[in-house]
Amino acid sequence: MSSSISTRDIVTIAILSSLGGALSTFVGYLGNLINLSLGVPFGAGQFMAGLHVFWIVLIRVIVPKRGVGTAGGLLKGTVEMFAGSTHGPVIVLVSLIQGFFVDMGASAAGSSENPKDSSRITWWIGAGVASAANVIVLQIFYFTGAPILYIIVISILAFCSGIIFAGYFAWETLEFLNDAGTISGFQSTKPVIPKSTPRVVVHRNLPAVVFVLFLTVGSLYYTTNVAHVFADPYTCEVRGLVDNPFSFSLEDFASSEITIEAELIGAYTHLEPANYTGILISTILQQANIQTGAVGLQIIARDGYSIIFDIDTVMTDSNFLLTRSDDGLWLIAGDYDGSMWVRKVTLLQVY
């Protein structure tokens, strides 16, 4: 299929990428105007996210070939990098991923079909997802550990922006360009819809179904595996040199609950002696069954903080437990300095 890309196609992709890159400053300027009118220092930028995907959608519709969205995204990002975008290669990556999602949406919508009718919704959802993708990429680069609520809100904002600007507005634009005679074939390929038997309906919607399925599975995978940081703050995992790695919540050990008194003595902070109720780390590790040869335990928090203890000391320490607090599981290291107390514990790694 790719071999049939004509010079005209290449030129179209290049010119639209270039125009998109040239206008990205205008889009930024609009975002600033909105910020000003709302009286916030930043944030409305994401409301404009869809306008970046707009160009990729345009490219993919005007040059209806598989992979063109990804290529267009890559090119537009590279143009922006050469035009002096602050984020440089990060923009290239964002744009590339957006292009990929537009391609996915397009394939799901059935590229040979006229993008105007039934498949339009699939296109628009694809555009929305592509817009939201920038939030995830930027989060990985610059906002690691951001609260999930924040990410969800911003992603939804970007998704809506994608639907509005890269979906609705892109279609308006395409119809307009077609009407102006600038592009051809956007409307004219409207297929004669055959008398739809149920089978045909299923067949025609199959790509859309697959696409929605892909989205669901993808987002599930993301939330469960990739974004383990978003998982329930009250569950924790045991991994490493153990026979029986598992994930648990404190309720699983309800019968072994104990209470100790401990005092946090830090360099600058001090928590008065208080009672902490929870499960001893040694109890938890016993259940996992530590392999011979293990020397240490690394306790890792959601924010990436980690700290190392000697495994033998841990197994005999009766002032060393996980307790439940407002924001997650806390490690109470009664016999240690305050900096060894870890909040939001998510992983016990035996090594």
Name residues contacting another protein, limited to 20-79 (CB under 8 A). Answer: 21-23, 26, 29-30, 33-34, 37, 51, 71, 75, 78-79
With b meaning 16 or more CB within 10 Å and e meaning fewer, what string describes 230-253?
bbebebbbbbbbbeeeeebebeeb
Residues 281-340 that bind another protein (CB under 8 A): 301, 303-305, 327, 338-339
**In angstroms, what is the minimal distance from the CB of 326 to another protein?**
11
202 near another protein, judged by CB under 8 A: no
Separation in Å, CA 248 to CA 80, 279, 311? 46, 11, 20
Using CB under 8 A, pick the residue from 4, 86, 244, 255 that binds another protein: 86
Least CB distance to another protein at residue 17 (A): 5
Length of the chain: 351
CB of 105 to another protein, least distance (A): 21
Output the six-digit token pair for 41. Answer: 């220092």
**Phi and psi dihedrals of 319, rounded to 5?**
-115, 35
Residue with Cβ nearer another protein (107 or 349) = 349
Member of 43, 145, 185, 191 binding another protein (CB under 8 A): 145
Question: For residue 246, what are the contacts with CB-CB under 8 A and spacing of at least 6?
Answer: 237, 238, 287, 288
Contacting another protein (CB under 8 A), which of 53, 57, 81, 154?
81
Q: Output the DSSP codes for 108-163.
A: HH-TTS-TTSTTHHHHHHHHHHHHHHHHHHHHHHH-TT--HHHHHHHHHHHHHHII
Q: Please say which residue, 19 or 227, places its beta carbon nearer to another protein.
A: 19
In the stretch 330-349, what mask flags binding to another protein with x, by CB under 8 A?
Answer: --------xx--xxx-----
Helix (H, G, I), strand (E, B) or coil at 193: coil
Measured CA angle at 245 (ends 291, 284), to 5 deg: 80
CB of 287 to another protein, least distance (A): 25
Smallest gap from Cβ 158 to another protein, in A, equals: 16
Segment 170 to 199, residues that bind another protein, using CB under 8 A: 173, 176-177, 179-183
